[in-house]
Amino acid sequence: MADTKTETVTDLKDLGAATDVKATEETTAEVVAEKKEPKIDKLGRAYATGRRKGAVARVWLKKGNGKVTVNGKVQDDYFCRQTHLLVLNQPFLIVDRVNNFDVVCTVKGGGLSGQAGAVRHGISRALENFEPDLRPALKKSGMLTRDARVVERKKIGKHKARRSKQWAKR
């Protein structure tokens, strides 16, 4: 009886290995055969949504000369800090496409840092939609991953999330 169980297990292992090899060959053939198509609308724009903390950015990207508009304002007027502007333009630096695209975006929610991160995420996803070949470079640098960190909630009996009340010995 023990021999029958062992034979069945080895038969199943052999069968599983064969199906895995077939599945791998099929998936590589599918990847080679199907090339990702750009997702561009009638006006020649790629659209994407970016998120960071409480901010949500809707981003439209099209060929142009590098003009970035955020909520109807030029990026320098909307984001005053230099760090926000660096964060915003990171995807273009990574894929070496500086001053090749015009960006129009609307951002809601959160603060300026969260909004800059949301626009960066949206630009990265829109670049991928416009030129799918850029995905590996953007993915490697972490631009396509949504930053899931959010503010920790305030706890009862504390001043903030972790800050305790002041204690004096005397």
Any idea where the domains of the chain sit in the sequence? Answer: 49-140
Q: What is the mean pLDDT of the chain?
A: 86
* Position 68 pLDDT exceeds 90: yes
CA torsion 105-111-114-115 (nearest 10°) is 10
Over residues 104-122, the pLDDT tens digits come to 999 999 999 999 999 999 9
* Position 30 pLDDT exceeds 60: no
Lowest-confidence pick of 28-32, 74-78, 81-85: 28-32
pLDDT band for 36, please (50, 70, 90 cuts): confident
Lowest-confidence pick of 29-38, 56-65, 78-87, 122-131: 29-38
**Residues above pLDDT 90, as percent of the chain:** 74
pLDDT band for 28, please (50, 70, 90 cuts): low
Specify the pLDDT at position 38.
Answer: 86
CATH number of 49-140: 3.30.230.10
Burial class (CB in 10 A: 0-12, 13-18, 19+), 161: exposed
Task: Please write down the HEC assignment for all residues of 8-71.
Answer: HHHHHHHHHHHHHHHHHHHHHHHHHHCCCCCCCCCCCCEEEEEEECCEEEEEEEEECCCCEEEC
Query: Is the distance from CB of 122 to CB of 48 less than 8 angstroms?
Result: yes
* Position 53 pLDDT exceeds 90: yes
Longest dimension (CA), the chain: 80
